[in-house]
Structure 1
Amino acid sequence: MVQIKQLTLEQFEERIALTQFAFQMEMSTEGIEEARASFRPDLEWGVFDEQGRLQSMLTIYPFEVWIQGQAISMGGIASVASWPDSRRQGGVSKLMIHALATMRENGQTISMLAPFSFSFYRKYGYEMVVERKAYTMETAHIPPRVDVPGHVRLVEKRTELFSGIYEAYASQYSGMLKRDDNWWKRKIWSKSGSAAIYYGESGEAEGYVIYQVTNRTFTVHEWVELTDAARMALWSFAANHDSMIDKLTLTASMDDSLSFLVPNPRFKQEVVPYFMSRIVDVTSFVEMYPFSPSNQEEALLLKLSDVHAPWNDGVFRMEFSAKGSARLERMNGTGASLPAVQCDIGTLTALLAGNRRPDMLRRVGGLHGDAAAMELLERRIPNRHTHLMDFF
């Protein structure tokens, strides 16, 4: 009989072998040793056969993610893989279900992952919450240089110079990671290239760009702007590279307005589906979630289906305070006098963490309910765009 167990330090080699095979990568000796130094077996789970051989694995990273301006504990699922002779035997399914219970125990009320297949992870309650815009523009399309008070300065890659700007920007979206120093060091500063900060007229840092110029291409690793002045100053800075480059590539949030602001918006723009999320513990998540205030207390009936997390499956009374807090109470009766909505956990995740509005979800058949309940949700759920600049 197969077993689900945490990995041990002694199983690092097995883990690396499966990683390289499943993700079609060949790690250098230096890369393997770096991975060994950062290996956290307490975050790694595997399915083992009767002989103790690792068949399938996944990792649960402990993160905090910004949701509606609040940092919430999140379980990041990554490195989901199986050997080919162990595939389609239910190993990954067992791990995914086990991961839900583990994340709940860890207080991680929401989970995120980068899917190899959206349809595969929808089976486990995940739903797409982050899409991004990918721009590729020739130098002729770069916004023209303008004079802006303040200045852009090339600076050293030091976390303390950038983290405050990043957090101010990240908290404006749902889905962005709350980064620690280790993440900056391992994931941001490990990229080649340069970094520049825009300091406004008051001397305050209002934006930055982390980028690399190679083969006459200006590749933006990160672009953060807190003000219109920062936007104009950073684009003027990018335009100053015109003699060195033929094109610029940039990944932006879905609410980015660049195409409206440039003289000629006919450059390549793609919408790229990116990350999925899933509410792990709906009761705890709702209690942490900052709903919009109202002039009175309100309630509705939520009929929620979740085949892989029985603690979420059922009928709940959802109470909203006038100040914007909420709570769920499991119902034994029908609560027939209340406005009611019905959906699965993926739809609820899209509603609360993916900025999909109630009316849109109703029209596509994901959310069912009476008009009063729909109107209540429309008022109570704040409208906040999603974005994610990181990958795991």
Structure 2
Amino acid sequence: MGIEIREAHPDELREVALVTTIAFDADRNPEGLLGQRVYDLFVPLVCREDGRLVACLSVGPMAAFYEGAEVPLGAVSMVSCLPEERRRGLVGRLLAHCLAYMRERGLCLSGLFTPHPSLYRRYGWGAAHPYLTCSVDPKAVDLRWLPRPQGRARRADVESWPLLDDLHRRWAAARNGPLVRSESWWRIAVFGGLYWPRRLPRDCAIWHRPDGTPSGFLVYEAGVRRGERGIENYCAAFQLAALDGDAYAGLLRYLFSFDLAAQVTLPVDLADPLLAAADEAQRLQASRHLGMMLRLVDVADALSRRPTQAPDGTRLLLGIEDQHAPWNRGVWLVEAEGGRLRMRPSGEAPQLSADVGNLAPVYSGLLSPREAARSGLLQVHDPAGLEAAQRLLGASLPVSCPENF
């Protein structure tokens, strides 16, 4: 029968979940993933050899915010291969197949989280969305440099997801990378805890201005767990989204009010003002994470969907190398028109050229075209092309990172 790669049938989900748990050294029980309704969010692709399921991955059809626009994104997750079948190129074949699969479904971008970035870099994903996790003893810092916030926090739960979604969209549209969330994503991933289910859903607080208008929210979990020194309290934020200074200060004060916790942790963007806002900021411990790797599945579609501030008529000849997505290869004429980029194949010589993976940090805004060229990620054949790329492809919004999937 040989090797067959395709979308999983509904009656194969239990087998897919079993292979996934085996691959990740979990409890070899498919009921966990099935019970969490993970496959309500993701569509599995399977690799069968002689009828036997040997590898699989899943694609979540989603979208993410870039330069204020919602751009379709395939969330690649649960990439799994049985231990005895590894190092045979099966995962590579799955990844190459999923690129065509996503393109056929209009998913012009793809994102994934991984502890093995070098593997996915070979298939065109690139580092694009790093973030920080800050941790601190809440009794060791103060927010005295922030004005006393006007308004108050009120607790909420998952049933408030429509209000939370409206706040999230307004917050996310000012950043590059946050996900567009469905109701199922709010319920399963945000409150339920994707892959790591909680006994109780995460908690939430919404900040309301004095007139009652909501202007931010905090999703978090707090409880008791066994630590190095025995039983200890903890508090871990999942997301703090503030639309104004009062909401930012108020929700930070709310978070740091969990003073029984040995540590409070908070994921933040690279440009988050926390270090400037906190008194005794040297006590904050920050760790940097790779975050979501990004892939331009369909370069022409992805660039045309991302708004630009370049004047109409600004043009660039961009050469793309892409080993696994032949539809991206070649030279493209990139031209600004009405706040968007128009992409057309060209027979002219490129002014700039790049491997497709090196476009990821430029697309996200992690690097400007000038910085990418200075580091060698973009090859400059005509200096005028670099200046055009800066106007056409330079980001106006800060890079952010979505939640782990």
Is 1:329 aligned to residue 344 of structure 2? yes
Give the residue type in structure 1 aligned to 2:87: R
State the Cα RMSD in Å.
Answer: 2.1
Is the partner of 1:311 in helix, strand or coil?
Answer: helix
**1:41–1:190 Cα change, 3 Å:** closer
The one of 325, 336, 339 aligned to 1:309: 325
1:383 matched residue in structure 2 = 396
C-alpha separation in 1, matches of 2:219 and 2:28? 26
Q: State yes or no: 1:55 paired with 2:68.
A: no
Q: Which residue of 1 aligns with 2:271?
A: 255
Give the 3 Å change call, closer, same or farther, for CA 125–8 of structure 1 in structure 2: same
Q: Deviations over 1:201-226 (max 9, x none)?
A: 33211111122222322221221111
Equivalent residues in 2 for 1:143-162, closer than 5 Å: 143-144=143-144, 147-157=148-158, 158-162=160-164
Instruction: Give the secondary structure class of the aligned counterpart of 1:173.
Output: coil
Q: For residues 111 and 22 of structure 1, do their structure 2 counterparts lie closer, same or farther at Cα, with a shift above 3 Å needed?
A: same
Mapped to 1, the partners of 2:39 and 2:202 lie a distance apart of 27
Asked whether the equivalents of residues 368 and 395 of structure 2 are also in contact (C-alpha less than 8 Å), the reply is no
Shift of 1:247: 2.3
Aligned to 1:197: 206
C-alpha distance 148-270 of structure 1, shift in aligned 2 (>3 A): same
**1:112 is aligned to 2:101:** no
Give distance in 2, aligned partners of 1:372 and 1:147.
50
Query: Residue 70 of structure 1 aligns with which residue?
Result: 69
Greater displacement, 55-64 / 200-209: 200-209
Matched residue type, 1:177: L
1:210-221 → structure 2 map (5 Å cutoff):
210-214=219-223, 215-221=232-238
1:268 CA displacement: 0.7
Q: How does 1:176-191 map to 2 (within 5 A)?
A: 176-191=178-193
Counterpart CA distance in 2 for 1:30 and 1:84 is 20
1:112 aligned counterpart, secondary structure: strand
Residues 204-260 of structure 1 show CA distances to partners (whole Å, capped at 9, x for unaligned) of 111111222223222212211111111111122234333x33321111111101111
CA-to-aligned-CA distance 1:155-197 (integer Å, 9 cap, x gap): 3332123111111111111111100111111112225443211
Give the superposition deviation at 1:124.
0.4
Q: Which letter maps to 1:198?
A: W
Please, what TM-score do these two structures have when normalized by structure 1?
A: 0.92
In structure 1, what is the Cα distance between the partners aligned to 2:290 and 2:307? 26
SS of the residue 2:310 aligns to: coil
C-alpha distance in 2 between matches for 1:93 and 1:246: 43
In 2, are the aligned partners of 1:341 and 1:367 still within 8 Å (CA)? yes
1:287 is matched with which residue? Answer: 304
Correspondence for 2:196: none
Q: Which moved more, 1:78-87 or 1:143-152?
A: 143-152
Tell me the number of residue pairs that the alignment of Structure 1 and Structure 2 aligns: 383
In 2: Cα distance, 1:164 partner to 1:58 partner: 31
Match of 1:342 in 2: 353
SS of residue matched to 2:218: strand
TM-score by length of 2: 0.89
CA distance in 1, matches of 2:169, 2:277: 25
Kindly provide the amino acid, as one letter, of the partner of residue 332 in structure 1. Answer: G
Distance change (3 Å), C-alpha of 1:101 and 1:3: same
Q: 1:328 to 1:352 in 2, by over 3 A?
A: same
Aligned-partner Cα distance in 2 for 1:341–1:179: 35
Contact 2:129 2:364 in 1 (8 A): no
Q: Which range moved further: 11-20 or 251-260?
A: 11-20
| One of 240, 244, 248 as aligned partner of 2:257 | 240
* Structure 2 portions without partners, runs of 5+: 194-200, 224-231
Cα offset, 1:101, TM superposition: 0.7
- Contact kept? 2:41, 2:60, Cα under 8 Å: no
Separation in structure 1 between the aligned mates of residue 34 and residue 264 of structure 2, nearest angstrom: 35
Equivalent residue number for residue 314 of structure 2: 298
Query: What residue is the counterpart of 2:226 in the other structure?
Result: none
1:65-93, Cα deviation, whole Å (9 max, x unpaired):
11111001111111111112221112111
The share of aligned pairs that are identical, in percent, is 24
Structure 1 residue identity aligned to 2:388: L
Indicate conservation of the 8 Å contact 1:146/1:236, yes or no: no
* More moved, 375-384 vs 21-30: 21-30
- Opposite residue 91 of structure 2, the aligned amino acid is V
Q: Distance in 2 between matches of 1:63 and 1:99?
A: 15
Give the 3-state SS of the residue equivalent to 2:140 in structure 1. helix
Q: Aligned letter for 2:298? A: D
- Secondary structure of 2:97's counterpart equals helix
State whether residues 7 and 41 of structure 1, in contact with CA within 8 Å, keep that contact through their aligned partners in structure 2: no
SS of 1:216's equivalent in the other structure is: strand
SS of 1:119 mapped into structure 2:
helix
Query: Secondary structure at 2:165's aligned position in 1?
Result: helix
Could you tell me whether the CA contact under 8 Å between 1:222 and 1:389 is conserved in 2? no
Contact 2:292 2:402 in 1 (8 A): no
The 2-side partners of 1:205 and 1:75 are apart by 31
Q: 1:267-295: CA deviations, max 9, x gaps?
A: 2111111110110111112221211132x
Is the alpha carbon distance of 1:33 and 1:46 closer, same or farther for their aligned partners in structure 2, counting shifts above 3 Å? closer
Alignment of 1:6-21 (within 5 A): 6-21=7-22
In structure 2, how many angstroms separate the alpha carbons of the residues matched to 1:388 and 1:61?
17
Against the structure 1 CA distance between its residues 374 and 31, is the aligned structure 2 distance closer, same or farther, given a 3 Å change threshold?
same
Please report how far the alpha carbon of residue 386 of structure 1 lies from its aligned counterpart in structure 2 after TM superposition: 2.0
- Counterpart of 2:383 in structure 1 is 371
Is structure 2 residue 246 aligned with structure 1 residue 229? yes
Question: Which AA in structure 1 matches 2:16?
Answer: R
